[in-house]
Chain A
Amino acid sequence: MKASEEERFRDLAAASLPWLTRTATALTGDAHRGDDLVQEALVKAYVHWRKVRSADNPPAYLRRILVRCHLDAARAASRRETPSGHQLAGSHHHPGLTEPMAHDSHGQLEDRLPLLAALGNLTAKQRAVIVLRFIDDLDVATTATTLDISPSTVKSTTHDALRILRTQLTETQTDAPTWRER
C-alpha cells in the first residue's frame, strides 16, 4: 500500500476506533475480546483497503467487517468443543462475560454488567441485531445491509431478542439489592 493510502487508512481507523471499540465490546461482552475483534476487523480492512476506500460509506464498510468477524468467530466457536469442568481455583469463569470486565479500568462496571450479561443470553445474530439497532442506533434497513439479511429478518430477530432481554433485564433489576434493602 502506498504511503498516502496508508495514511488514509490510519485516519479512518483512528476516527472509527471509539465507536468500533464500543460496538465490539457490546458484541463480545468483554473489553479485551472487543479489542481483539477491532484489531481483526482493522487488519482485514487494511488488506482489503481498496474495497473499503471505494465504498460509498467507508465507516459503514468497517462496521460490516467488524460484525462479520464477530459472526464468523461465533460460528467457529459453536463448532468447537470447549474445555469445561476444571477451573482454576478462585476463578469463576463466564466465558466472554463478567470476569474480564471485573478488572476493567473504565469504571461503570455495575452499570454495564446487566446489559452485557443480558446480551450474553442471545445468539450471536440476535446480539448483532440488537447492538446495531439500539447501541449503534442504526435503522432496520442499514442493519439489514450490514448483516446481509432481509429487513423482515431484522425485525423478527429484534422482536425475539427484545423479548429475551426484557425478561433478563427485569430479573437483573429485581435481583439487585436496592439502596433501601442495604
Chain B
Amino acid sequence: MNDIDQVPREFASTVQTLRDQGESLPTAGHVDLTSVVDSGRRHARRRRTRGLAAGLAGVALIGGIAAALGTDTIRQDGAPATPEPQVTITEQDQRRPVTELYAVAPDVMGDAGIKIDGKIRWTMGDVPLYGQAPAYITGMPNSAAPPPAGFPPQGYPAKAASAMVPLSAEDALEVTTYSVHGGLPLEQDYCSWWENVPTRVPSPCEQMKVEDGILLRQDGYEMLSFIWSGGQVVVRPVSLTFQRVTDVPWDEMERIATDPRLRW
C-alpha cells in the first residue's frame, strides 16, 4: 500500500484531497458484460481470420517462389489466398427504404457521433450541425490519418476538414461486419467530388445498412436527427434529452425522429 509519507510533506494535503475526492468517483457504469463478450468474440474471430490470411499469403508467396524455381507449387499464381477485405454495398442495400434513421448527439468535440462497440466509430461533421447541407461521414476519430487531399471542397468550412479521417480497409471491414449507420443522401455535386477522393472509404453517397451496436448519447447537448427522406438530408434539432442507452430499437429511433412534435 502506498504510504502518504512517501511524498514530501508539502503535498500531504493535496494527496489527502485526491484520496478523499477519489473515493466519491463512481464505481458503477454502463458497461454491459454481454456486449463485452460479444465484442471480444468478434475481435478474436477477426484475429484468427487475419492470422489465417497471413499464413495463407505466406504459403502463396512460397508457392510463387517455388513456381519460379520450377518446382511443384501450391499455388501457381502466387496471389494472396485471401482477398483484401472490401466493403460491398449491394444494389438492394442502396434501394433499402430508409426511414432507417438515427438520432445522434454531438460528442464533446462538437461533432455528432455514433458509437459502435463502445467507440465512436463514425462521426458526422459539423456541417450538418449548422444546417448547411450536405452532411458527410467522417472517419474514426482515433485515427491519426490526415484528411484526404483536396478536402474540403471549395466553400465548405475548414473545420470540417479537421474531422475528416479516412478509414482503413480493416476498419471498413469491421464496419461492414458490425454496423454501418444509415447512408446519407447528399447533394449531387458533393457526391461527384467524393468520387475523386483517393480513399478507400465508401462514399457517403452510397447507402449502407444498419445492423446493431448503436449507442445514443446525450451528454446534455441538443439532440439532432438525420433523416433519409426522399433523397434529402433533413437535419433538425430535437429538444428531447435521452439517457445514455444501448441498443436502441430501430422502431424507437424511428418513432423519435418522425414525431411531428419534434419538427422545426
Residues of chain A at the chain B interface (Cβ within 8 Å): 1, 6, 9-10, 13-14, 17-19, 21-22, 24-26, 30-32, 34-36, 38-40, 42-43, 45-47, 73, 76-77, 79-88, 90-91, 93-96, 99-100, 102-104, 106, 108, 111-112, 114-115, 130-131, 133-135, 137-140, 158-159, 162-163, 165-166, 169
Contact = CB atoms under 8 A, between A and B. Distances in A.
Nearest to B243: A105
A36 B118 contact: yes
B29 A35 contact: yes
Given A42-B33, A139-B3, 6 more contacts: A34-B29, A39-B118, A82-B109, A103-B220, A162-B11, A165-B14
14 contacts: A13-B33, A17-B28, A22-B27, A34-B29, A43-B117, A76-B144, A83-B109, A83-B163, A86-B110, A112-B24, A135-B18, A139-B2, A166-B13, A166-B14
A86 B159 contact: yes
B162 interface: yes
Contacts of B159: 83-86
Nearest to A26: B25
Interface string B134-176: 0000000111100000000000010100110100000000000
Contacts of B3: 139
B118 A35 contact: yes
Nearest to A140: B6
B40 A46 contact: yes
The 10 A-B pairs at the shortest CB distance, nearest first, are namely A46-B40, A39-B118, A135-B22, A18-B27, A115-B21, A134-B18, A21-B29, A79-B144, A162-B11, A35-B29
A95 B37 CA distance: 29
A139 B181 CA distance: 45
Contacts of B264: none
Contacts, number: 194
B33 A10 contact: yes
B129 interface: yes
B43 A46 contact: yes
B219 interface: yes
Nearest to A115: B21
Contacts of A76: 142-144
Given A10-B37, A134-B15, A95 B108 contact: yes
Nearest to A79: B144
B2 A137 contact: yes
A82 B21 CA distance: 30
A102 B37 CA distance: 30
Given A17-B31, A79-B144, A114-B21, A46 B157 contact: no
A102 B25 contact: no
B10 A93 contact: no
B37 A17 contact: no
B245 to A, nearest CB: 12
A105 B67 CA distance: 66
Contacts of A25: 25-26, 29
A32 B217 CA distance: 9
B141 to A, nearest CB: 7
A80 B108 contact: no
A104 B26 contact: yes
A108 B36 contact: no
A17 B27 CA distance: 7
A83 B162 contact: yes
A155 to B, nearest CB: 8
Contacts of B36: 13, 39, 42-43, 46
A115 B21 CA distance: 7
B232 interface: no
B261 interface: no
A38 B115 CA distance: 15
A91 B129 CA distance: 13
A39 B28 contact: no
A115 B40 contact: no
